Amino acid sequence: MDSFTVLIIVGLIHCALFFFDTLFKSCSHYPYLYFLHNTGLQVEVFKLRWFTTVFNRFIQKCGCWRPRLLDYWFTLGARCSLILLPVAVYIFIKTALGAWEKSSGSGDVKSSITLEPMIPGVNLPIGDIGYYIATLIICSVVHEFGHAVAAVREDVHISGIGVIILFILPVVYVHINTEQYDSLHPKRQLLIICAGVWHNIVLALIGICMLTLLPILVYPFFDIGSGVAICNIQQASPVLGPTGLRVGDKIVALNQCQVKDYDTWYYCIVSTIQHQGPGYCVSSELVREHDESVSVKQLPGGVVECCSANSPDHLCFEYIETEGDMPELQQHSCLPGRTVIESTEEMCTTSSDCSVDLHCLKPSLDNHTRLLRIKRENEKIVIFLGHPGEIYHTVQVSDFVPYLFIPSAVPEVIAQLCKYVSVFSAGLAVINIIPCFYFDGQYIIQAVSNIILASKVEHKSVRNAIALCITICGTVFVFGNVLSVMLSSFL
């Protein structure tokens, strides 16, 4: 299912919900109105809103737990967030300059650190839409939980927690008493506003640590570093079949290339694409026993054909001899491919690579076709004839090889979720700290202005006006930057 289809389905669901909401409200349908009132649910055009006070007592308890420790925690968070502010501005400037250079064609150098909107179906696999939504929910909940607990520590009343689903994007928010917040000293306001960014920073670090420690945490149940496990094989994959690969197989080698993890798996496939396949060291007795060669024909592309149509499982092998040696075999032999491959563990590029009394025979194939020997642990080898890219695109593998009945998909899901959480949470921390309307940076820059300019600018309204000007400039810059990056991604 492509991204356009997903968006169409989501749009139809929103339209249906809005239609029935309008219908029931126009009819004054009491059970429906009672349901909306008790659940705090609101249905709008392509928007669902839910507000509740259920978690207020829990947040109040969290805010009263270890008061001194929480004071240190949020003070550290405010300081780290203020340190992040110039870093975030620098990243945005680098991103803007990189996008400008790319659009103008004046440079082709991509910045090492940039911010790019993650758009499902464009630069994010549509199959990862579940991770995308789950990550946004986790990051938003942790972010708003930081605001809520910090507000409780500063004696600001929490009205409730809400969730807004904007078409397909979930947004969590906390409603606090604005009058109580405005009456606080700017330093105390800073503790509340910076708490969300601080929690996103901590969440990103937790995601990175979990991703790093995951191999150790799952070690009693999974083998790591000695091969890859097959998680999924597409129905149209050429490696399916009675003698092909199966889900759960552990692959340890492709030809002579040892497979230890996903990176080496990818490297081995690329290596087989870039280089011609090796030959096989076989005995002269095997060649004489199985040879069914006919008159040699030269095909387009430099391929030599020496097998008849009555030998579908046979391949034409070329005898690779060392210069100066007396040839012991004819130059081309038609041999059964599986018999040749299973008869030896030795592979070769020249005759000197083989042991004594063995000869190097190389299959005659075109430039895009490879004969692969896929070695599995405790299973027969799998022979593949075709383009190695077909294996990569139709076979999904995992670094986690299960010892027990637990499938490899479990740690893979955890690892993928940790990747998304660390990236998204760090990105939300960076973008939220920027002085921009509807971001935490709008209130952070206001509090910072009131703290720094208190001794130089007497009137608070003037200090707020300065913060407003900075916020307007930041808003124009941020949305212009995001728009340019999104247009470059679509175009």
Q: What pLDDT, in 10s, does the model give residues 443-488?
A: 999 999 988 888 888 788 888 899 999 999 888 887 777 776 666 6
Report how many helices (DSSP H) and strands (DSSP E) the chain contains, helices first. 14, 19
Instruction: Give residue 109's pLDDT band: very low, low, confident or very high (50, 70, 90).
Output: very low
Mean pLDDT of 5-15: 84
pLDDT at 25: 86
Classify residue 410 by burial, with Cβ atoms within 10 Å: 0-12, 13-18, 19+.
middle
Instruction: Give residue 224's pLDDT band: very low, low, confident or very high (50, 70, 90).
Output: confident
Mean pLDDT of 329-353: 86
Instruction: Give residue 352's pLDDT band: very low, low, confident or very high (50, 70, 90).
Output: confident
117 pLDDT higher than 90: no
Q: Distance between CA 254 and CA 232 in Å, rounded?
A: 18
> What whole-number percentage of the chain has pLDDT above 90?
25
Mean pLDDT of 103-128: 57
Q: How far is CA 81 from CA 135, 224, 432, in A?
A: 21, 37, 10
Mean pLDDT of the chain: 85
pLDDT at 409: 81
pLDDT at 469: 92
Q: Is the dihedral of CA 36, 41, 42, 47 positive or negative?
A: negative
382, 244 contact by CB (below 8 A): yes
51 pLDDT higher than 70: yes
Q: Give the helix/strand (H/E) hosting 94.
A: helix 67-104
Does pTM surpass 0.85? no
Mean pLDDT of 101-106: 60
Q: Give the helix/strand (H/E) hosting 104.
A: helix 67-104
pLDDT at 70: 93
pLDDT at 122: 53
pLDDT at 9: 85
Mean pLDDT of 263-277: 90
Instruction: Give residue 170's pLDDT band: very low, low, confident or very high (50, 70, 90).
Output: confident
pLDDT at 103: 59
Q: What is the pLDDT of residues 355-386, one digit of tens each?
A: 888 888 888 888 888 888 999 988 888 989 88
Q: Angle at Cα 368 formed by Cα 390 and Cα 283, nearest 5°?
A: 100
Instruction: Give residue 189's pLDDT band: very low, low, confident or very high (50, 70, 90).
Output: very high
At position 457, the amino acid (one-letter code) is V
Q: Distance between CA 178 and CA 181 in Å, rounded?
A: 5
Q: Angle at Cα 311 formed by Cα 307 and Cα 312, nearest 5°?
A: 105
105 pLDDT higher than 60: no
Higher pLDDT residue, 10 or 98?
Answer: 10
Q: What is the pLDDT of residues 20-32, one digit of tens each?
A: 888 888 887 888 8
Mean pLDDT of 226-243: 88
355, 345 contact by CB (below 8 A): no
Q: Distance between CA 7 and CA 13 in Å, rounded?
A: 10
